Amino acid sequence: MTTPDSDAFGSRFPHRDLLGIAGLSPQEIVFLLDLAEGYVEVSRRAEKKQELLRGRTIINLFFESSTRTRTSFELAAKRLGADVINMSVAWSSIKKGETLIDTAMTLNAMHPDVLIVRHPDSGGVKLLSEKVNCAVINAGDGSHEHPTQALLDALTIRRRRGSIAGLEVAVCGDISHSRVARSNIHLLNTLGARVRVIAPPTLMPSAIDRLGVTPYFDLCAGLKDCDIVMMLRLQNERMQGSYVPSIREYFHFFGLDREKLKNAKPDALVMHPGPMNRGVEIDSELADDIDRSLIREQVEMGVAVRMACLDALTRGLQSNA
C-alpha cells in the first residue's frame, strides 16, 4: 500500500493501489464492501452504464489465464464508463523480471489510470506497481493474495448473514498454493470471524498457525458446527510432483458432499471461488443446490466489488483534464 493506514478517511480510500488484504484496516474493508453494495443494485438494472470513469483508461494485464476475474473486471470498468484494454501476456520464465518490468514501463508510458494485473509469481504485482505511476490492482499473484476475491466472498457472506463477526468459517483444500485462502484468512480475521483451515498434511503450509487460524487434517472434524464452508481447487499449475495419492482418494477424504456437510451447522452455506472441479473437491449436485451453495452469487458479487475497487482507487487520482 502506498499510503499509511487511516481510520478516518472520509469518502477517499487512502491507498493508491490494492495489492492485498493484509494491511487494510477493518474500516477500509467495510468502506469497500459498503460501496460494492450500491453497485449490486446498479448491476441489476436494465441500464447499467455509469459516467463515473468516463475518459479513464483501464488495462487488464494477465500473465496467467482467467475467466471470472478478467471478465468481471472488464464488465466492472465498462459499467463505470471507462475504456478497457485486455492484454494476455505469454509467460516466458527465462525473461521473467525483465519481461515484467519492461511491460510495466511500456504500459505506463501510455498513461493508463488503472492497471489490473495477474501474475504467476508471489510479489510480481507489487514489483510492477513500483515501476508505474497509475493505480494497480492485484488480480492474483502466485499463491500470495487475491484481494478482490476475498472482498467478493465477504460481500456474499455479509448479504446472507448480515455480518462477518462471530462466524465460524472453514477454508478447505489446497491451502498451500491458494492465494484465495490467504486473502480470505486476512479479511475474515480482520472482520472478527474465526477461521479454521482443513487440508491433507501435504497441502497445509507449515507455519499456518501464524496466520491466526486453527488447522485440521480431517474434513469432518474441521467442519463441526461451522457457518460457512469455502472449498478450494487443487492448484495443479503451482505443484511440482504429486501432493495427493489419487483424485478418487482426495474426494473420498477431502471432497465436500452432503454427508460430510452434515457436520457443519444445519444452515451452513457452501462457497467456491471457481473454477470448480466437480467430483474432486466438491460434489456436483451440492455445488448446484441453490439453498446451500453461494457459488453463483459469488460471481455476481465479483462485478459489484470490482466496480467498488475501481471507484475507490480512481477517487484519489488527479484529473487528466
For every residue of 94-132, DSSP letters joined together read TTHHHHHHHHHHHHHTT--SEEEEEESSTTHHHHHHTT-
Is 53 or 232 the residue whose CB approaches ligand ASP more closely? Answer: 232
For the bound state, the minimum distance from the C-beta of residue 43 to ligand ASP, rounded and expressed in Å, comes to 20
Is 148 or 263 the residue whose CB approaches ligand ASP more closely? Answer: 148
CA–CA separation, 299 and 275 (whole Å) = 11
Residue selected from 53, 136, 152, 180 as contacting ligand ASP according to rule CB under 6 A: 180
Residue 181 within binding range of ligand ASP, rule CB under 6 A = no
The conformation of residue 245, written as its DSSP 8-state character, comes to: S
Is 53 or 137 the residue whose CB approaches ligand ASP more closely? Answer: 137
Q: 269-271 and 228-231 as β-strands: parallel, antiparallel, unpaired?
A: parallel
Best CA proximity match to 281, nearest among 234, 237, 241, 217: 234
Residue 272 within binding range of ligand ASP, rule CB under 6 A = no
Residue selected from 14, 124, 140, 147 as contacting ligand ASP according to rule CB under 6 A: 140
Other Cβ atoms closer than 10 A to 192? 12
Site string for ligand ASP, 198-227 (x = CB under 6 A): ------------------------------
Is 53 or 199 the residue whose CB approaches ligand ASP more closely? Answer: 199
Residue 146 within binding range of ligand ASP, rule CB under 6 A = yes
For the bound state, the minimum distance from the C-beta of residue 286 to ligand ASP, rounded and expressed in Å, comes to 18
CA–CA separation, 78 and 205 (whole Å) = 39
Residue selected from 70, 144, 233, 306 as contacting ligand ASP according to rule CB under 6 A: 233
The footprint of ligand ASP on this chain (CB under 6 A) covers a number of residues equal to 8
Is 13 or 73 the residue whose CB approaches ligand ASP more closely? Answer: 73
Residue 273 within binding range of ligand ASP, rule CB under 6 A = yes
Query: 283 Cβ partners below 8 Å, 6+ apart?
Result: 255, 256, 257, 258
CA–CA separation, 247 and 258 (whole Å) = 19
59 to each of 51, 180, 204, how far by Cα in Å?
A: 18, 22, 35
Note the residues at the interface with ligand ASP (CB under 6 A). Answer: 140, 146, 179-180, 233, 235, 273-274
